Structure 1
Amino acid sequence: MAAVVSVGFSSAAFAQSSVTFYGIVDPDIVYVSNAQTNKAGGVLHGAHQYSMQDASSSAYVGSRFGLRGSEDLGGGIKAIFTLENGFNAANGVLGQGGALFGRQAFVGLANESIGTITAGRQYSSFVDYLFPLSSVNLWGGFITAHPDDVDNLGLTVRQNNTVKYTSPTWNGFSADVMYSFGGVPGSISTDQVISAGAGYSVGPLRIGIGYLSAYDPNVSMWGSQPNGGGAAVNNIGSLGSATTPQKNPVIAGYASANREEVFGGGASYTFGHAAVGFIYTNTRFIGLGSDAGPNPLGYVGSAVFSTIELNTSWRFTNALSVGASYSYTSTSGPKANKAHYNQVNAGVHYNLSRRTDVYTVVAYQRAAGVDSLGQSAVASVNGMTPSATNQQFVATIGLAHRF
C-alpha cells in the first residue's frame, strides 16, 4: 500500500493541468421592420419593433461564459472538459431554455495520435464542419442563418446524451462521428441522433461535409432543452393565436416528422485580405403524421428544404472589416406547401482592440409561396419574431467584448 501511494503522489507531481475561463458579453440593439403581434380573426398582425436582445438566439452572437480544461494523464493522453453557459446580458436570464450549461457540457480523453472521444451535451458532427464556413460564424451572427435555422447552422439546438469521436488531423484531413442515445426502453432508434462529418483544411482552402439523422426530431432535436416538451407539444414552433405570434412558420408545421435528415457541403478560400465561401444544405422532414409531435394540419409524406449560401468578407485594415452574403431556400412539402426565401445580409465590424469590437449587421428576407403552416409564406429571419407579411428587415448594432 505504501508503494502504491508513493507512486500516486509521484504521478500527481508531474501531471500538467490547466483551466481557462472565457466568454463573450454582447447585448445588442435590434430593429425589426415587421414583427407579428398576433393572429386575431385568422389574420396576421404586425408592427415595427425596437428592442435590446441578447437571448440564446440573439441577433448577433449571444453572451456566454465557459470553462475549458485539460489534464495530462501521461502516455500522450489528456483528460479534457468544456462547460459553456449562455445568458442574456440585458437581464441576466439563462439561455437555452434555462440550462445552466446549455451551450456545451462534455468531458473526454484526447490523444494526438489516436484522436478524441467526448461525452455529454455537444454540437453535431454536421455543425462541426459546416458552421465554420457560414456567414453566421465568419462575421454575421445568428440573423444571417438560413430561414428559421432550418439546417441548424445558426446553432439553435444541441444534442444531449452524446458520444463523439474526433480523428487526428492527417495532412489537413479530419473527421468525426457522433451518436446521441434516445434512452427509450425497448427501442434503440426512438429519439436517437446520428451524425458524421469530415473536412480538409490546408493553407487558404477549407472544405467541409456533414450528415445528420434525427429520429423523432420534435423531441430529440428541438425538445432538447429544459423548456422543451414531449411529443404532445410542438417544440419546433407555433401556429400562433389571437394573442400570440407564430414561431418558426417555415418549419413549425412539420413537428410530426418521424425523422429529420440533413446533408450539406461547403468550401471557403482566402486570398489576401478577402475571403469567399459557398454552402449547400438539404434538410428533409420524413414520415409526417407520426406520433413524434402534433399534426393539426393532417400532413403525411415529407417536406424538403434546399439552401445555397454565398458569402464573402474583406478586411480593409487591421481594425475595419466588412462582409456580405446571399442565401436562397426552396421548399417542397405536402399538399400545396411550396415556398422559397431570398435573404441578403451585410455587416461592418470595427475592432477597438483585440478583444472588443463595435458592429452593425443587417438582414433582408423576402418569402413567396405557401409555408409549413399552409398560409401565404411570411418572412422569418432567424431568431426574430416572424413578419406578418412576406418581407422583413432586421438591423442590429452592438458592442461585443471577449474575455
Structure 2
Amino acid sequence: MTLAILFISTITTPVFAQSTVTLYGLIDEGFDYTNNVAGSNVYELQSGYAQGSRWGLRGTEDLGSGLSAIFKLENGFNVNNGRLGQGGLMFGRQAYVGISSNQFGFVTLGRQYDSVVDYLAQTTANGNWAGYLFSHPYDNDNTDNSFRVNNTVKYTSPTIAGFQFGGTYSFSNDTNFANNRQYSLGAQYTTGGLLLAAAYLQANNPSATAGGAINNGGDENFVGSKLRIFGAGASYTFGSANVGVAYTNTYVANPTASGYVGDITPAAGTLSSLRFQNFEINGKYQFTSAFYAGAMYTYTRADFNSTAGKLNPSYQMVGWMADYNLSKRTDLYVQGVYQHVGGDQTGTVLDFAYVPGAADVSSAQNQVVARVAIRHKF
C-alpha cells in the first residue's frame, strides 16, 4: 500500500521549468605609473583596467517551446576603496531582463551595452584583450564603455551561417521625446578565424538629463547636442596569432566638455563640432597556453571646427601588453602606453596628451602610463 501511494505521488508531481542563477565576478587591481601629470610623476594603485572589477548575477528560466526568461544584474566597483563604479550606481555595468528564443534571438530591457560595444569593439585591442589604457583618445568612440545606455530595448539575432546582427533603442523618458535618446545598429560575420564587424550609434543631447539614455552622473565621453559614431573592423586568427584592424569615426555637434578632461571650450570663438577618425592596428600572439603578448598602434585625426576656423590636431598611441596565467582564474599582466599629440594647436586641454586611465592630463604633448596588475575571476 505504501509503495502504491509513493508511486502515485511521483507520477502526479507537477513538472517545474528548469531555472539557473549564477553568481560571478572579477577583480582587477594593480600599480600604475604616469610619467607626466602637471610636470610630475604619479604612482598609484588603480582598479579595473584590463577589465573592470565587477560582480553580478545572471539567470535563465526555461519557459518551454525554445523560450527562456533571462536576466543580468552586474555591479562595478573600485577595489581600492570599495566604492560603486559608474557614478555610484548599484548595478552600473548592466541591469536587464528579457526573453530569449532559440529561433528568433533575444529581446532585453534595461541598462545595457550599445551596438558599438557589442559588435565593433571586439576588433580593437581595448575592446578585446587589452582594456582601458588602450582606448582611443578620450574613448571618443565608446569602444571601452565610457557609457552604457539606459531605458534600452535591445534585439540580438541568432547566429545564422556565421552572421549576427542587432540594435538598441534608448528612451529619453522625457516630455521632449528626443532629448537624450540613443539608437544603434551593428552586425558581425565570422567564418573560420575571420571576424568582420560594423556598427552605428546616434545620441541626441547625450548627458543632457539625469534620467535619459546617457546619464550625466557617471556615463559620458562628450557632452554636446548630438553624438554620432560609426565604424568597421576585422580580426583574423591563424595558429597562435591574431591580427586586428579597426576604423571608427566620431562626430560631436556643439561640444562643450569631455567626461575625461572637462571643459573643451576654446578661448576664442565657439566650438561648433568635433570629429575624431581613429585608425588602429593590433596584434596578439599566444606563446603558450598560459602566456600571451600583444601590441597596438592607433593614429587619430581630429577636426576641431569653430567660428575662428578649422584646426586638425592629431594623436598617436602605441601600447603593449604581456599576460601570464597562474591558473584558470588568476593571471598577472603588465602594460605600457605612450601617446603623442601633434598637428594644430586648439588652445584647449585637447592640445595636451592624456592616455585614458592616466592619473591626469599631461603638461606637455607626450605621456606614458605603465601598469603591473593581478586579475582574479570567480
Fold shared per TM-score above 0.5? yes
- Indicate whether 1:262 and 2:236 are aligned: no
TM-score (norm. length: structure 2): 0.88
Residue identity in the other structure for 1:364: Y
Residue identity in the other structure for 1:209: A
- Indicate whether 1:348 and 2:322 are aligned: yes
Cα gap change, 1:296 to 1:399, in 2 (>3 Å): closer
TM-score (norm. length: structure 1): 0.83
Is contact 1:86–1:95 with CA below 8 Å preserved after alignment?
yes
The answer for the alignment partner of 1:196 in structure 2 is 185
Cα offset, 1:287, TM superposition: 4.5
Alpha-carbon distance in 2 for matches of 1:71, 1:223: 28
The answer for the alignment partner of 1:389 in structure 2 is 364
Cα offset, 1:132, TM superposition: 1.6
Is contact 1:139–1:347 with CA below 8 Å preserved after alignment?
no
In the TM superposition, what are the counterparts of 1:138-157 in structure 2 within 5 Å?
A: 138-157=128-147
Cα gap change, 1:111 to 1:301, in 2 (>3 Å): same
- Indicate whether 1:61 and 2:28 are aligned: no
Cα offset, 1:299, TM superposition: 2.3
- Indicate whether 1:358 and 2:332 are aligned: yes
Q: Which runs of 5+ in 2 are unaligned?
A: 1-11, 257-261
The answer for the alignment partner of 2:32 in structure 1 is 30
Cα offset, 1:223, TM superposition: 8.6
SS in 1 for 2:15: helix
SS in 2 for 1:148: helix
Cα offset, 1:137, TM superposition: 3.4
The answer for the alignment partner of 1:169 in structure 2 is 159
Question: For this pair of structures, how many residues does the alignment match?
Answer: 356
The answer for the alignment partner of 2:107 in structure 1 is 117
- Indicate whether 1:304 and 2:275 are aligned: yes
Cα offset, 1:224, TM superposition: 3.7
Alpha-carbon distance in 2 for matches of 1:156, 1:377: 21
Is contact 2:27–2:54 with CA below 8 Å preserved after alignment?
yes
Identity %: 41
For residues 291-344 of structure 1, what are the alpha-carbon distances to aligned partners after superposition, in whole Å with 9 as ceiling and x for unaligned? xx9885452532211001100000111111100010011001123542100000
Alpha-carbon distance in 2 for matches of 1:315, 1:207: 21
The answer for the alignment partner of 1:368 in structure 2 is 342
For residues 336-359 of structure 1, what are the alpha-carbon distances to aligned partners after superposition, in whole Å with 9 as ceiling and x for unaligned? 542100000000001111111100
- Indicate whether 1:46 and 2:45 are aligned: no
Is contact 1:275–1:314 with CA below 8 Å preserved after alignment?
yes
For residue 21 of structure 2, the aligned residue among 19, 22, 25 is: 19
Alpha-carbon distance in 1 for matches of 2:341, 2:13: 62
- More off after superposition, 121-130 vs 377-386: 377-386
Cα gap change, 1:375 to 1:396, in 2 (>3 Å): closer
Alpha-carbon distance in 1 for matches of 2:300, 2:150: 28
Residue identity in the other structure for 1:134: T
- Indicate whether 1:102 and 2:92 are aligned: yes
Residue identity in the other structure for 2:365: N
For residue 238 of structure 2, the aligned residue among 271, 280, 283 is: 271
Cα offset, 1:127, TM superposition: 1.1
The answer for the alignment partner of 1:333 in structure 2 is 304
SS in 2 for 1:129: helix
The answer for the alignment partner of 2:248 in structure 1 is 281
Alpha-carbon distance in 1 for matches of 2:32, 2:214: 27
Is contact 2:325–2:331 with CA below 8 Å preserved after alignment?
yes
Cα offset, 1:183, TM superposition: 1.4
Alpha-carbon distance in 2 for matches of 1:11, 1:161: 41
For residues 88-135 of structure 1, what are the alpha-carbon distances to aligned partners after superposition, in whole Å with 9 as ceiling and x for unaligned? 111111111111100000000000101110000000012100122221
Alpha-carbon distance in 1 for matches of 2:126, 2:42: 23
Alpha-carbon distance in 2 for matches of 1:342, 1:288: 22
The answer for the alignment partner of 1:240 in structure 2 is none
Alpha-carbon distance in 2 for matches of 1:362, 1:314: 17
Alpha-carbon distance in 1 for matches of 2:189, 2:93: 26
Alpha-carbon distance in 1 for matches of 2:216, 2:30: 25
Residue identity in the other structure for 1:301: S
Q: RMSD between aligned alpha carbons?
A: 2.4
Cα offset, 1:159, TM superposition: 0.4
Cα gap change, 1:373 to 1:284, in 2 (>3 Å): farther
Alpha-carbon distance in 2 for matches of 1:24, 1:295: 35
Alpha-carbon distance in 1 for matches of 2:13, 2:217: 44
SS in 1 for 2:146: coil
Residue identity in the other structure for 1:22: Y
Alpha-carbon distance in 1 for matches of 2:89, 2:108: 20
Cα offset, 1:373, TM superposition: 5.8
For residues 239-276 of structure 1, what are the alpha-carbon distances to aligned partners after superposition, in whole Å with 9 as ceiling and x for unaligned? xxxxxxxxxxxx6xxx3x32110001000000000010
The answer for the alignment partner of 1:313 in structure 2 is 284
The answer for the alignment partner of 1:248 in structure 2 is none
Cα gap change, 1:380 to 1:392, in 2 (>3 Å): same
Is contact 1:371–1:378 with CA below 8 Å preserved after alignment?
no
Is contact 2:179–2:208 with CA below 8 Å preserved after alignment?
no
